[in-house]
Structures are given as structure tokens and as C-alpha cells.
A and B are shown apart, each in its own frame.
Chain A
């Protein structure tokens, strides 16, 4: 049986395609040579294009190549690569993560030009030159869906203490600190304000009201915006966008104090492009950069830059005196305790 099922040329072509396909897959991944800076970031996807073009305009010999993912994934990736770092720079990642990585000798210290113009709480004051320098900050907030709350007759909470009200039972959502930096931010802030033991007592009561804990930090406010929950404990940033889309949502910034987190940058110690990275670092704390950072965030590192979003203006005054080093050192211990107490449907009082 001679199966002439394809003409001869087609057969040869088929073989050729197969061989060159294999070759392409291998060759296609070889790096292209350009002065490209590999930058790991957790900045929201819709902001990246604007930062890239601004950086490339200010530093003409650089091409920014973003590696973007959520805070948890970027941190995991950096840790997984610690024996063989791929990134040249980490830019726009939570300072808590940067402290964790700095402890592993990940970064080279550098004091960008104009560092003295920044708020001292926004950069690494323990090291000189600093191992990380902050760009902007976001704080925790309560997102309150007025329509859903009215249906259930829920009063608007004004303080953190209000949240233990039994009326809220089953109507609250917050991020799981074990999978979300935002969740940990809140727990760590409460501990720094109230002390550790009273915070666990507070969390026990909060747990009774919680309908669930989300994996992601921004999800609770999103869920409040879409009416899935009347009350979400999270960040204002995402919900500001939903509000503009027409979601019936109000923000509460409890006066007891807000946990907050700095978004900062660091230069990777093993990078072969130190000079280029330093130029980007210099631009990153200019006034021009600060104006680009401001929308949606409660504060930027340079004092006196106005906030374009009215509701967020002045919220910065409620930021607690956050001890990032304490938070990084006690993180795993607190997370383990939290997991034992509240993770899973096992008896919450355990």
C-alpha cells in the first residue's frame, strides 16, 4: 500500500516546518541585546505605560522592560530567584516585601539625587545609603456600599471599633493576611496601635462578623462596589475607579489610625546595569514623577504634592507611625497565629 496522501513537495515542506519549528522555539528565547532594564513591579497594569514613557523620556539610554504581577507573586518570584537574580531593579513594590528581600542581601544601597526632599518615613532610614526608597503610599480603608447597607439596615461604621457591632455579622469581607499584603497591613497596624493581645481579642470578634477572607488585597472594596458585600476592608484605590463607574460606595478612614504601606524601589545588588538603574532611581523621586504617582493614592513621598482625588486628600494625616522593620520581623509569627485561629472552618475559638 503506497499512500500518496500528500504531494511530495508538501511532505518535504512538512518536514522542513517541523525542524525549523523546533529550532525556532529554542532560538526565539535567546535574549535580544539592548540597554534594557528588567524591572519587577507590582504597579497596576493600567499605569505602567505612562511610567515607562516618562522614564524613557527622562533617561534616553534605557528601555524599561516590566515584569508585572501582584505583590505576593512578585515577592515570591524574587525570593525563588534569590540565588540567581534576574531583575535589575524592583520598582513600585511594597516596602514590607523590600525589607524582607533586603534582609537577604538582595539590594545595593543608593541615595538618589534629592533624597533630602522626601518625607523621612518614606525611605530606609536604617541604612545609609538606603536600600529602598519610597515613591507613594496607600492606606487601609473601609468601603461601604450604601445601597446594600440600606437594604439590610446597617449603620455606616465610623471607626475600627464600630466593626465589631453584631449587626454586621456575615456582611463583612477582608483580605486574608496569609495571601495578601494588604490584609497583613491591617493586622500589623492594629497590633502597633492597640498592642498584640488586645488585637487578637479584637480580631476574634471581627472574625465572627466576617463572611469570608479574600486572597487578594483589593478584592474586598471591589466586592463592596459590586454589592457582593456591604462592607469591605481594603484599599480605596480600586474602589475609586468603581465609584467613577457608578457604584454606590463611600469610603471610611477610621480616625484611630490607618495602616499604610509604601510603594518603593530598590536596585538589585547583582545587576550589571548599576549606572542605568541609578539614573532611573534619580528620576523616580523628582517632582515630575511624584505628580504621576499621585492619582488614587493617599500620599506621595514628597510632602506638599496635591492629591487630585478630593476624597483622599488629607487622609495621610491618619497614617500611624508604621514600623516596617517590626512588621517584617514578626510577619511569619503573626501569620501562623492568624492561620491557626481563623483560617478554615474549624472552630474559630481554637
Chain B
């Protein structure tokens, strides 16, 4: 222990420290170029006229004097709030069924709930058209209302964010202390009372977190409103329309800045809530074990089956749509719509590009992100550097994909930028995608590293083992499951993302997800569904591979976890 009076001793920096600092600087520089500089370019573009001169707030004044554009803000907030609340309610009972009841096939239900993650958000929207469009098989259920508009957006978004919300609630609900329930029961509390005084408060942070995650995902999503939004304008489609339809880049930048506001608010609100959360589980906690109860279990079995069936039905409809010759007039089956080379969007090359892009993203992204997480979590000293890196790693979470993509256009396509040569390449797509999904992957890495005793580093250092050896021989093997999780997360998201890359792809680097968008746009809906199915099949295959790998490698590297 140091007393205040004793002189501070500055330890001399060893080789290890220099290696760590150098690497930290490199990762921080990558993030700086990958996120902060492009955002600055976007911000300054919103203050420029078409000729590049500074015009102050003129673009903003234009924006706020246009009723159609301002109306989009209200529309966005309305549909997002409605869709978020509906998803929270649906996912709440689903997660409740999986954690607090004794229904059979829990892991099957869990797997089904994750299906929407495998598809670009355009695909459920396309599928909904086949269900509820004017020629839809179930359009009567809408009682004459049109699917094109807020109803369609809410349904599509609820589908799209369901897995994210369900997973957060599932984790929150599985961390409950059975002693509280015992106490409540022995005090004679009724079931309803227990629900409101024990269950709900126990998961309140999970609920709040799920709310903000869903809100951000929905308000920044572009796929669903693009396909099914009809006349109902939202901020995300406005950005696209300004840039692609009107070639008005300055106004596109302004709408992007507006879209950034709710995303940033949600981000900070979530951070504040997370900080207040204290460990709900202590070493003395007893995990809650649900007891069988026929009525309740039957109810939840029916409920979960119903939701699960709906999730699968949307997928099945997309598959069916991709195989029918001409809905609804010619229902013969054909693989005609899979002949992507005859259509817009880049053909089969787009699919191959997507696989290539996703593989690079998974490979390079995992290396950079895991090393970054290691530096934040395990490097000794240099606290300022770690804090800066941690901050940079959190920024991408608050930046919607469309905004990031547009920012990249302004930043990388400027002839004055020495990095200009990256524009229109596969590399820029990989950089953009790694940056876009950085935060969640970073947090996964940090969580895994937190579980490791810091003494590994201390012991290695005292044995004069260089830090990179410890990293490669101890840290990496111990964290293999987390590393695999990160790479699968990056791969699947790179396959399905549309928003950021839609402004960045070139004809050589057309992507499958963008092809879905462009084919739907041109009215080739069946082909759009077909390409969407290719993405689903690929993502599902990678998930399966991940499961097999995790099991195999875990046996070799994680044996120490067992006694």
C-alpha cells in the first residue's frame, strides 16, 4: 500500500508494455479511422451546400420546413414504439415459458426463436406480402386494412427483433433467486402478487435493456419499411430516398444526423441503466427451479408452439414464394427464380461476394476485436489508453448502419483522402462491417476475459514469459468458445446486413443482401425471396458448423472447467 506521502515510483516500461501500448495504439487508430473520422465527414457534409461551401444551418432549416420530411420523425417514433412494446410482450411470455415453466422441448423452442437472426430484415417483409398483400392467402385477417404501411412495418419489425429481445429476457429470467420466491410463498403472497413484486422487479434491467435494444434496432432498420412501408415514410427510408432518388447528398447527411439522435439517446439510456444494475445473483443464490403445474404448462406449451409456428411459417412462405413460377396466376414449381444471373442485383457473383465478405469479416474482425478486448481488459497500466479504446469500441453501437455507410461514402471517396484507393473495394466493405458490429463482439470478448483470473498474466510476467506467448498459449485457448461466438456473430451479420453496405458496394462487390433489396425494388419479388433463402441457408449452415466446432474444441480446450 502506498501512503500519500511516499514518493511515486514510476516503473520502467518493459518490452511487454511497449508491445501492449503499440498494439493498443494500432487498434485505436483503426477504430478512429473506421468510425470517428467518417462521422466527422458526415457532420461537416450536413453543413455544406451542393458546391461544397459552408452554408451553416441552411440544410437543417430546409429539412425542418418540409412537412413531409418532418412527418417521418413522428412516423418513425410511432411505429418503433408500437413494435417495441408488442415484441416485448410477446417475447416476455415466450421467455417466461422457457424459464419458469416445465414445458417440453425447451431447446427446440429456443432454437426456433433465433431463426429470424438468420435472414436480412427484407425477407420477413417479403413473406408478409404473400400472407397479407392484396393477393395474400390470409389478407382477410387484416379486415380490409393494407399491409403496406404501419401495420406491415410493425409486424415485420416485431419478427425481426424478436430473437434479440427474447434472448435478453431469457438471460434476465434465468438469473433469479429461488429464495425470494420461497420467502414470498411462505409469506402467503398470491401468484399475481409474486409476479408483480418478485418476478418483474427481478428482471427490470433486462426489460429496460431489451426495450432500448429493440427500439434502436427498429428505428434504424431499413429493410422492413423499404419493402412494406408503402406510403408511410420513416427516417431510414428517407435517407435512402434523398441519396438514391434525389441525388441530394447534403439532405441525406441531414436526415442521417436526425436518425442518429434517437439511436444515441437509446444508447446512453441503456448504458446508464446497465451501470445501475448490481449483481442480482450472489454466491448464496439458489437458482429457481420451476415445479410442474398442468394448467400453466399447457398454456405456455400452446403459447410457445403458436409463436414458434408463426416464426417458421414466415420462413416457409418465403421458401414457397421463391419456388412458385408466377404468384398467383401460375403456381407451378420452378427453380427459375434462382437464376440470379438473369436479374438485377449482381447474380450469383453477389452471393459468392457475400460469402467472401462474411468470411473476411469473421476472420479479421475476430482477430482485431478479440485483441482489442484483451487490451482493454488485461493490459496493465496506461489507463488513459484503455479508457479511450473502450470508448471507441462502444461508439459503433450508437451509429445506425445507413448513417455509417453514408459517412463512409463522404470520407473515403474524397479525393483528398489518402485512403481513397479503398473506395469500391471488398476491403472497405469488410472494414465497414467489422466496425458496424464491433461493439457486441467486443463486449462478448470482454465478458469472456473477465472470467479469467488476472493471476495468469501476473504469474507469466514474473516467470518472464513474454505477453504475446501468454496471450497465444493461455488466453486464446481458454477463450475459444467466446472467440467462436464472435466469429459466428460477425459472419451471420455480414451475410444479412443491408443498411451500411447499400451505399458502399460496387458492381464487383455486389452482395447477396443488397441483391435482395434491388430485386425486390425492381419488382422481382420471387427472386428476392430466393436470394433471401440462400442467405438463410448459408447462415444456418454456419451456425450448425459453429455448434459442431464448439462442441469439438470445447472438449479439447475446456476440460479444465470440469472437475
Contact = CB atoms under 8 A, between A and B. Distances in A.
Interface stretch (B9-17, B25-33, B242-250, B295-303): B242-250
Interface in B338-389: 341-347, 360, 363-364, 367
Contact of A223 (B326, B518, B523): B523
Nearest to B230: A212
A76 B243 contact: yes
B241 A179 contact: yes
Contacts of A22: 364
Nearest to A170: B146
Given A3-B473, A344-B231, A350 B523 contact: no
A72 B477 contact: no
Interface in A55-84: 66-70, 72-73, 75-76, 79-81, 83-84
Interface string B130-155: 00011100000000001011000000
A67 B507 contact: yes
A218 B240 CA distance: 18
Contact of A246 (B134, B329, B474): B329
A216 interface: yes
Interface residues of A, number: 68
Interface string A171-187: 00000101110000000
B80 interface: no
Interface in A221-248: 221-223, 225-229, 238, 242, 245-248
B518 A147 contact: no
B364 to A, nearest CB: 7
Contacts of A229: 134
B44 to A, nearest CB: 15
A69 B507 contact: yes
A215 B329 CA distance: 25
A29 interface: yes
A226 B135 contact: yes
A79 B247 contact: yes
Contacts of A75: 247
A1 B474 contact: yes
A308 to B, nearest CB: 19
A2 B465 CA distance: 12
Interface string A150-169: 00000000000000000000
Interface in A246-268: 246-248
Contacts of B329: 147, 226-227, 246-248
Interface string B501-530: 000001100000000001001111100000
A225 B241 CA distance: 25
B67 interface: yes
B66 interface: yes
Nearest first, the 9 A-B pairs at minimum CB distance are: A222-B523, A179-B245, A343-B68, A29-B425, A84-B415, A3-B477, A212-B230, A219-B523, A344-B68
Interface of A: 1-3, 5, 11, 18, 21-22, 25-26, 28-29, 44-46, 66-70, 72-73, 75-76, 79-81, 83-84, 86, 100, 147-148, 176, 178-180, 211-213, 215-216, 218-219, 221-223, 225-229, 238, 242, 245-248, 332, 335-336, 339-340, 343-346, 350
14 contacts: A18-B363, A18-B367, A29-B427, A73-B244, A80-B249, A100-B247, A178-B245, A215-B226, A219-B523, A227-B134, A228-B129, A246-B326, A339-B68, A344-B233
